[in-house]
Structure 1
Amino acid sequence: MYLISVTKSLMALGISDIDTDYNNYKHHTDSYALRYNYERNFRKKPPKSLLGDFEEHLIDQMKRFDPVHEIEGAMTLIQFFRDNEIPFCFATGALPKPAIMKLDQCGIWYDTSLLATSKTHESREGFVMDAIDRAKTFYNKEQFDTIISVGDGLWDLKTAQNLSLDFVGIGDKNKVRLIENGAENCFSNLTAFKEWLI
């Protein structure tokens, strides 16, 4: 659903030659998808205003689909963090408005100051570091003793490894590949991850 929305939003901006092999992109982010395909079509950098237009098109396209559903255990995990004063932050390759729309549809608590997106950082390493900085500010911490990056894709693992962060893999779809590439802790869902934390 989301990748279809990305493709149709790029088309709405007049980009016709679109590389839809999103899994093989250098960066798995909305902002990179826009820049890469724009430059591929027009041989020049996109105007800065185009990112905002792309974001609005994404919202319009997402409204054509049924609302997204919560990943099993997400809501209770966030509540567990809040109840136990465990600092956390959201880091996503999406742009802010689509990310907020999905969180709202799932009924998951968030604060926009804890939302790091690809609006300001095209690379995953960039917005994960932004997420850490945002968490330090929000929770008034100079540093964290342990930082765990949670994700379901190989690119999430690689990003954590590049930044020397602990990593937890979620979901069975990519579990074998994650373990083969060095993931030590993988869980079928976020509920199992929460139980491990307890």
Structure 2
Amino acid sequence: MNASNTLYIFDIDGTLTDSIPTYLKVITKVLGDIGLHTIDTDYDNYLHHTDRYALEYNYERNFGKKAPDSLRYELDTLLETELRKHDPVIEIPGARELLLNLQHKEIPFAYGTGAFPKATAIKMNDANIPFIPEVLATSITSVSRVGFVKEAIQKSKEYYQRDFNKIIAVGDGLWDLKAAQELKIDFLGVGLKNKEMMLQHGCTDWVEDFKSYTI
């Protein structure tokens, strides 16, 4: 198979950047800053592991009504501002080298993340990982992972000007695997935290980090 017709779609937090502990503090702080005083911080058990779901779910818990559409864009800016107050995040070992290698071999890649875009750009720049905003899809446009992974695929077709024979989603969580299974695309699991759970749910390709992964 022609590798240039293969598309990699990377989750970011916990997959490319070692940012989850910092980012959970950031989003909890910002949700409180906009007036959500009762916040469910059991993020691992959310229906969707996305900023948009965290906002909409907790807003409804606090106020008994849906969050205004404009609030997600306000939250995007507030998350960016708050994240800048923290130490820079670092890469998951081997992530930068892998994406540089993909670029060198002209193999397309994109990003599908549950985070909002402005904070995502900071994390990628902090970790010095190749970042192409044109193929970034986030939860600001879709509350579900399936939705923004589909958006990343469409953006990639337009940006790279081609269709893809093979699409590989790359992620560190069960939610990443389930989205790939629903979309009927391949999946590469990363990291130790959710390894056993992913393997139990049908993950067949897994690496501890990207230092042990070859294209």
The normalised TM-score by structure 1 is 0.95
Does 2:147 align with 1:126? yes
Measured in 2, the distance between the counterparts of 1:134 and 1:81 equals 18
Moved over 3 A (4+): none
Letter of the structure 1 residue corresponding to residue 211 of structure 2? T
Measured in 2, the distance between the counterparts of 1:174 and 1:26 equals 17
Show structure 1 runs of 5+ residues with no match: none
Measured in 2, the distance between the counterparts of 1:39 and 1:176 equals 34
Does 2:160 align with 1:139? yes
In the alignment, what sits opposite 2:59? 38
**Contact 2:110/2:132 (<8 A) preserved:** no
In the alignment, what sits opposite 1:85? 106
Measured in 2, the distance between the counterparts of 1:112 and 1:61 equals 21
**Contact 2:172/2:190 (<8 A) preserved:** yes
- Counterpart of 1:10 in 2: which secondary structure? helix
Does 2:3 align with 1:3? no
In the alignment, what sits opposite 1:165? 185
The normalised TM-score by structure 2 is 0.88
Show structure 2 runs of 5+ residues with no match: 1-21
In the alignment, what sits opposite 1:174? 194
CA-atom RMSD in angstroms: 1.0
Measured in 1, the distance between the counterparts of 2:98 and 2:155 equals 19
Per-residue CA deviations over 1:140-165 (Å, capped at 9, x if unaligned) read 01x21110000011111111111111
Identity of aligned residues (%): 46
In the alignment, what sits opposite 1:192? 212
Does 2:129 align with 1:94? no
Q: Which has the higher contact order (CA 8 A, sep 6+)?
A: 2
